Each structure stands twice: as C-alpha cells, then as structure tokens.
C-alpha cells in the first residue's frame, strides 16, 4: 500500500487526456491506490484529485467544468464527514450517492472495454463493399433513411442560403429619448406626480418603454425630476423639482 | 409462416413454395453475394418464393459449408439477417492489398456512451450525462453521424429531450443478431430489468421491431 507521499509522486505518470471524464479520473485514483469503491478515504482521494487538476492546469490543459464540479463535491463530502452529526439525524454515509454513481459508471466503463474488444476483432471481417444497385427503370422506388433525409435537407438549405443571402434590413429608430423627455415633462406639468411603472406599462413597444425609462433617468440626472418609491418593490413615482426646464438642456444632451 | 396457408374457401390452386435445397442453395448464395447489408430470411423467402423453413435450413447448410471447407469467407447472422464476410485471419492480407492503413476507431468516450445507450435505451442525453458525469453532446453527435444511434421520439418531460436508441448498424458492427443478444453482465441485466420495469415491458421488442423495419426500409 503506497503512502500518501508515494502516491502523490506517481501523479505525472498518467496521460491526462486519457480520462473520459471526472468519474473516470476518480476511478483511476481509487484503483492505483488499491482502494475499495465502497470505502473511499475521502480526504486522501480529494487531495490527489485536486493535485491532478493542478497538474492539468500547469500543462495548460483546459480543466473542464465537470472536473471542477466533482472536486467541489468531494470537498463537500469531506466536510460532511468531518462535521459531527446533528443529534437525532439519521445515520447516513455522506459518500453513499457518490459510491452508487461510481459503481454504475464502472459497469458501463467495463462494458465499453468489452465493446472495444469486439469492435477490434470484428474490424478484421470485411463485408462486401457497398455498391450502388442500378436504379430501377421506372425510378419510382427510392429507399432513403432518416440520415439521407437529414443530409439532403442540409444540402438544400445550404444551397438556398447561398442563393438567397439575407437582405440588408434597415430599421427606423422610432423612439428618441429627447421626445420622451418632452412627453414626461409635459405630463408632469399637468398633474404633479406620475406613477412611472404604470406609465411604462402603457407603452406599446419594448423599445419605447426602454426609451422612456432612459428619459426618466436623464431627467433625474439633469435635476428636473425626483423619483421615489413609497414601498419596497412598489410603484416608482416621478415628480417635478423646482428646477426650470428648458429645451436647450435636452438639445444639448441629445441631438436626434 | 402460418399465414402462408390458403384460407379455407379461397379459390385457386394451392401455391407450391420452393423447398428444394439444390435450387435454394445457389440462389441464396447469389442473393447474399450481391448484397452488402445483411438480408433477412423473410426477404430471401419472398425473393425466391420459397418456404421459410427451407430457407432457414439452406442458410445453416451454407454456413456449415463455408466453415468446413476452409474458405476465405464465412456466413454470419447479424442484425436480423445474413451476410458473407471474410475470415479474420485474412485481415492483414486484405489491408495490404487494398492499402488500408488506419481504421477509424471509436474513442473510449464514444464506446462508453454507446454502451449506456445500448443497455438503457431509449435514453435521453441528460440521462447519459448523469451517468458519465461529463458533457456528452459531441460524442453523441459522433455516434449519430456514424449511424450507430438514432432518435426514438421525445421524452414527455420538461424540454422534451430526444430519446436515443441503437441502430441496426450497431448490431452489424458488434455482430449481434438482435438487442436481446447483448452480453448481460449480472449487474447490467439488473439495470435493464429496473429500466424495463418502469416502462412497458415490450420496450426492447418494440425497438427490435423498429430496427427490423429500418432493415427493410433502409438502403
């Protein structure tokens, strides 16, 4: 049984890309340490696993997020094993779920190895090459598979896109901030305060509401209005301040 | 085959189906020689207007014959059909002759994913990823492009992800007559039983039927 130190010195022996995923790496660590899946010394394995991720980063390999996620899970399990159980809490091994996943994954990994053997053996059997059978003279029967259809559809859409490049689309700028500033000020001069969210809600277009909102912010910046909210998450009210409003102020900031 | 019996009351002379081995043997050999894909017994019987049992008997004779006389080819029963392939010992000779150096291999990740689909089909991509603990979309795409897996409807859950299943090309590649012939390590068999327990028990046979339909319909 290797000591922790010896095991750590073994790290660089392994081609990192050779792992097909974080569970594969974890299984490998369990195997080289001659450990039992059902009784993993989490602390030791977590250290080694983290050391692998560090080595991967040093070699400038992208450490896929899934590897990091499993590292986090290991640390979480480790912390749960260190913590005393709450009195009366059911006795449950924090490693239980991980063990089940590892066992399931290992079974499929073994099957994949069997598949590989069968595939290698059978690659040596040569079938008759696919030769197109001459088409029937009436040309009526056509046998296609789903794959042929997908391929045909892809070709058609590619050709269509090539022949019909998307037209240049010009959209009018329909709303302007200065126009909305004027509108807001006019409304405020009429009636004192204005519920802003309700006002925005009357807009027909998203762009219009955004423009009006920007207008309100701009008015605050210019010191022409004040926003206040009587309750958290409630309606926002707009009122005029005493500062005089002039067209120049708007024209200075926004030229349409 | 029972349906081949003329119904009582139907007029016309009883049709004699071909049963003679000496007639069927060379004809079946010719049909199989001309086909790259496995040909089902049903298709052979239809093509020759022959008796189904006689076709089955002829095939087993042809297979024995190929095995006994130390020929360069053998007859194999895969994906619900029959086809001739070369014997494994001639692989290096053939590769040299046809100047084939490298063969496309399936990666470990692809084989893992394929194994999961084979034993748990129909299965969705999120379920595959749950087992593998890693993103499997590109691997699945490779398997799809190699025609080893295909879609099998959608799962009626949020997002309606595609179900995937293995194809008849998968059976051919791994030398299986049908899905039921998959090697079943005890634990995997348990899994299979558990999966089947949730869904209707006929799921595997439906899949086989679908694979068979694909054989008939596919080129």
pLDDT tens across A28-64, in order?
Answer: 999 988 999 888 999 999 999 999 888 877 776 667 7
Residue with tokens 């309700």: A198
Q: What is the pLDDT of residues B103-148, one digit of tens each?
A: 778 998 999 999 999 999 999 999 999 999 999 999 999 999 999 9
Mutation target among A25, A26, A126, A148 for the B interface, most CBs of B within 10 A: A126
Nearest-Cα distance to chain B for A248, in Å, is: 54
Beta-carbon neighbour count of residue A2 at 10 Å? 12
The whole-number average pLDDT for the span B22-44 is 93
Mutation target among A14, A18, A20 for the B interface, most CBs of B within 10 A: A20
Q: How far apart are CA B116 and CA B132, in angstroms?
A: 9
Which position has the higher pLDDT, B127 or B203?
Answer: B127
Q: Please say if the pLDDT value at position A238 is more than 80.
A: yes
Q: What is the ipTM of this complex?
A: 0.76
Which position has the higher pLDDT, B218 or A176?
Answer: A176
- The neighbouring-strand residues paired with A238 are A194, A227
Query: What pLDDT shows up at residue B62?
Result: 93
Q: What is the pLDDT of residues A110-144, one digit of tens each?
A: 999 999 999 999 999 999 887 666 655 555 555 66
Check B112 against A112: CB less than 8 A apart: yes
Query: What pLDDT shows up at residue A53?
Result: 86
Q: How far apart are CA B80 and CA B42, in angstroms?
A: 10
One DSSP character per residue, B122-170 reads SEEHHHHHHHHTS--HHHHHHHHHTTSEEEEEE-SSTT-PEEEEE-HHH
Residue B32 Cα distances to A74, B18, B77, B170, angstroms: 56, 18, 12, 20
Residue with tokens 């042929």: A148
Question: Alpha-carbon Rg of chain B, whole angstroms?
Answer: 21
User: In this structure, is the dihedral angle defined by the CA atoms of residues B90, B91, B96 and B97, taken in order, positive or negative?
Assistant: positive
Question: Is the CB of A141 inside 8 Å of chain B's CB atoms?
Answer: no
- Please state the pTM of the whole predicted model: 0.62
Check A21 against B86: CB less than 8 A apart: no
Check B174 against A145: CB less than 8 A apart: no
Q: How far apart are CA B175 and CA A129, in angstroms?
A: 17
Question: Is the CB of A151 inside 8 Å of chain B's CB atoms?
Answer: no
- Where do the H-state alpha helices sit in chain A? 4-9, 22-32, 42-58, 65-82, 96-122, 146-163, 177-191, 196-201, 206-221, 247-253
Residue B184 Cα distances to A109, A148, B108, B118, B191, angstroms: 14, 33, 20, 11, 10
One DSSP character per residue, B54-109 reads HHHHHHHHHHHHHHHTT-SEEEEEETTEEEEEE-GGGHHHHHHHTT--------HH
Interacting residues of B131 by C-beta distance below 8 A, sequence separation 6+: A101, A104, A105, A108, B116, B120
Which position has the higher pLDDT, A256 or A242?
Answer: A242
Q: What is the pLDDT of residues B156-175, one digit of tens each?
A: 998 899 999 999 999 999 99
Nearest-Cα distance to chain A for B10, in Å, is: 31
- Kindly report which listed range (A50-54, A115-119, A154-158, B185-189) carries the lowest average pLDDT score: B185-189
Q: How far apart are CA B116 and CA A138, in angstroms?
A: 44
Q: What mean pLDDT is reported for chain A?
A: 81
Query: What pLDDT shows up at residue A105?
Result: 94
Give the residue from chain A lying closest to B116, CA to CA.
A108
């Amino acid at each position: 049984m290797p000591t922790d130190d010896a095991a750590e010195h073994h790290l660089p022996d392994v081609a990192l890309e050779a792992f097909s995923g974080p569970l594969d790496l974890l299984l490998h660590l369990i195997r080289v340490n001659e450990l039992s899946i059902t009784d993993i010394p989490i602390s030791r394995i977590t250290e080694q696993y983290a050391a692998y991720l560090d080595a991967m980063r040093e070699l400038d390999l992208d450490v896929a997020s899934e590897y990091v996620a499993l590292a986090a899970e290991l640390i979480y399990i480790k912390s749960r094993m260190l913590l005393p159980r709450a009195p009366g809490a059911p006795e449950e091994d924090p490693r239980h779920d991980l063990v089940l996943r590892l066992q399931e994954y290992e079974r499929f990994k073994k099957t994949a190895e069997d598949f590989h053997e069968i595939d290698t053996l059978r690659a040596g059997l040569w079938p008759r090459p696919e030769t197109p059978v001459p088409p029937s003279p009436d040309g009526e029967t056509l046998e296609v598979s789903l794959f042929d259809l997908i391929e045909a559809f892809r070709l058609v859409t590619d050709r269509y896109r090539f022949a019909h490049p998307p037209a240049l689309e010009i959209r009018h700028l329909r709303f302007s901030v200065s126009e909305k500033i004027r509108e807001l000020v006019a409304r405020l001069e009429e009636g004192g305060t204005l519920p802003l969210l309700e006002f925005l809600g009357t807009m027909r277009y998203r762009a219009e509401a955004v423009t009006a909102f920007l207008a309100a912010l701009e008015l605050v910046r210019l010191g022409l209005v004040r926003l206040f909210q009587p309750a958290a998450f409630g309606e926002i009210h707009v009122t005029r301040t005493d500062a005089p409003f002039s067209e120049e102020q708007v024209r200075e900031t926004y030229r349409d | 085959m029972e349906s081949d019996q003329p119904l009582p009351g139907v007029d016309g002379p009883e049709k004699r189906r071909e049963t003679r081995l000496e007639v069927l043997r060379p004809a079946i050999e010719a049909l199989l020689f001309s086909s790259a894909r496995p040909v089902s017994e049903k298709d052979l019987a239809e093509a020759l207007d022959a008796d189904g049992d006689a076709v089955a008997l002829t095939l087993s004779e042809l297979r024995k014959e190929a095995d006994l006389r130390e020929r360069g080819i053998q007859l194999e029963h895969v994906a619900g059909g029959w086809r001739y392939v070369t014997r494994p010992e001639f692989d290096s000779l053939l590769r040299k002759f046809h100047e084939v150096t490298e063969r496309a291999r399936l990666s470990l990740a692809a084989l893992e994913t394929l194994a999961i689909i084979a034993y748990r089909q129909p299965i969705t991509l999120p379920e595959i990823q749950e087992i593998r603990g890693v993103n499997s979309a590109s691997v699945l795409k490779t398997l799809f492009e190699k025609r080893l897996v295909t879609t099998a409807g959608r799962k009626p859950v949020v997002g309606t992800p595609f179900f995937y299943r293995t194809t008849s090309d998968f059976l051919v590649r791994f030398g299986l007559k049908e899905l039921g012939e998959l090697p079943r390590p005890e634990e995997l068999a348990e899994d299979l039983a558990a999966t089947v327990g949730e869904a209707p028990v006929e799921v595997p046979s439906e899949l086989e039927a679908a694979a068979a339909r694909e054989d008939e319909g596919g080129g």
